A and B are shown apart, each in its own frame.
Chain A
Amino acid sequence: MTVNAEELELKDRLSLIETMIADGRRTTERWGWSFVFWGVAYYVAIAWTAYNQWPWAWLVTMMSAWLLCWAIIRGKQKNQPQRRPGTTIGRAISSIWIAMGVSMVLLFPALGLSGRFNWHIFVAIVAAMMGFANGASGMIIRWKAQIATAIVWWAATVAACFGSDGQCLVVLMTAIFLCQIVFGVYAMICETRMRKQEANHA
């Protein structure tokens, strides 16, 4: 083999490494729908509570949403021809959201049972936790749009500590609309674009 041919082969190997590493990590997950899904679930819980003032409306709605969300994820996994391999970043992000979900499921019923539940504190804690999870996820994947949602949630945390109960509800509903519905739809559009790019690449 001549020196030039050898060099070309080595360059070919380097190019193969770069392509394969990028290809392996190109595992765009579809999570935009879950933001919209949970946004709708929060609105259902708010509407239910406002309709008949049942104290467990939030817990029942959230538990039902968890089960439905889990069933949808299972269904999506079954329909995939090959299971996408997990990445360390993917595990880090899902761990943040699971830990946040568990914290909420334990904290709010406990506050309700102990009689120490307060609407303003509830909204402030929900917004703080959502800000934390979105902020951490956005920083890990360096996605400015998600960091922006975290800023909205953090602003809602502060706002929830002031004003009347009605104003607090408006703060929560606005944050849900911007950070769950609008961001979720935007994420779905981005994911569709990325899938198309992946398909073209393949």
Chain B
Amino acid sequence: MPELPELNPVIHGKLRLALLSLLVGVEEAEFTWLRAKTGSTDGNLGAQLAKLEEAGYVSVKKKFVQRKPQSLYRITDAGRQAFLEYVQALKQLLGGAIGD
């Protein structure tokens, strides 16, 4: 019997997974856009993004636009790879259950 894959715990968190799923489809996204899409609070969102950044899955670029701070997040190559592996593992775990 083939061994079942383990799910990456960094990605498995619901908000972190939502963030990576959003970032995988765009080039880069502002903190405020991610907050609006996930409906999260500033504190929670910041903490989860920091965890993803720590794992090397997202990179952040901070700048000022018209004197207002702006944080732009982008998924890294490692993040994209980890996300794809997570989706593969998830599909494998679910097996025939997908589409039920």
Residue in B32, B33, B94 whose beta carbon sits within 8 Å of that of A10 in the complex = B94
- Please name all residues of chain A whose beta carbon is closer than 8 Å to the beta carbon of B27 when the two chains form the complex: 85-88, 91
Interface size class of A (residues with CB under 8 A): 20 to 34
- Please name all residues of chain A whose beta carbon is closer than 8 Å to the beta carbon of B24 when the two chains form the complex: 21, 24
Q: Is A79 close to B, CB under 8 A? A: no
The residue on B at minimum CB distance from A7 is B97
The residue on A at minimum CB distance from B87 is A17
Determine whether the beta carbon of A82 is less than 8 Å from that of B94.
no
Interface size class of B (residues with CB under 8 A): 20 to 34
Residue in B21, B26, B91, B97 whose beta carbon sits within 8 Å of that of A85 in the complex = B26
B6-51 residues with Cβ-Cβ distance < 8 A to A are 12, 14, 17-18, 21-30, 32-33, 36-37
A1-59 residues with Cβ-Cβ distance < 8 A to B are 7, 10-11, 13-14, 16-17, 19-21, 23-25, 27
Main secondary structure of the interface of B (DSSP, over half): helix
Q: Is A83 close to B, CB under 8 A? A: yes
Residue in B28, B36, B94 whose beta carbon sits within 8 Å of that of A14 in the complex = B94
Q: Is B98 close to A, CB under 8 A? A: yes
Q: Is A142 close to B, CB under 8 A? A: no
- Please name all residues of chain B whose beta carbon is closer than 8 Å to the beta carbon of A144 when the two chains form the complex: none
- Please name all residues of chain A whose beta carbon is closer than 8 Å to the beta carbon of B60 when the two chains form the complex: none
- Please name all residues of chain A whose beta carbon is closer than 8 Å to the beta carbon of B82 when the two chains form the complex: none
In the bound complex, CA of A165 to CA of B66 (Å): 51
Residue in A20, A25, A83, A84 whose beta carbon sits within 8 Å of that of B18 in the complex = A20
Residue in B25, B33, B98 whose beta carbon sits within 8 Å of that of A21 in the complex = B25
> A residues near B, CB below 8 A?
7, 10-11, 13-14, 16-17, 19-21, 23-25, 27, 81-88, 91
Query: 10 closest Cβ contacts across the A-B interface?
Result: A20-B21, A85-B26, A24-B25, A85-B29, A24-B22, A82-B33, A25-B25, A82-B32, A86-B27, A17-B21
> B residues near A, CB below 8 A?
12, 14, 17-18, 21-30, 32-33, 36-37, 87, 90-91, 93-94, 97-98
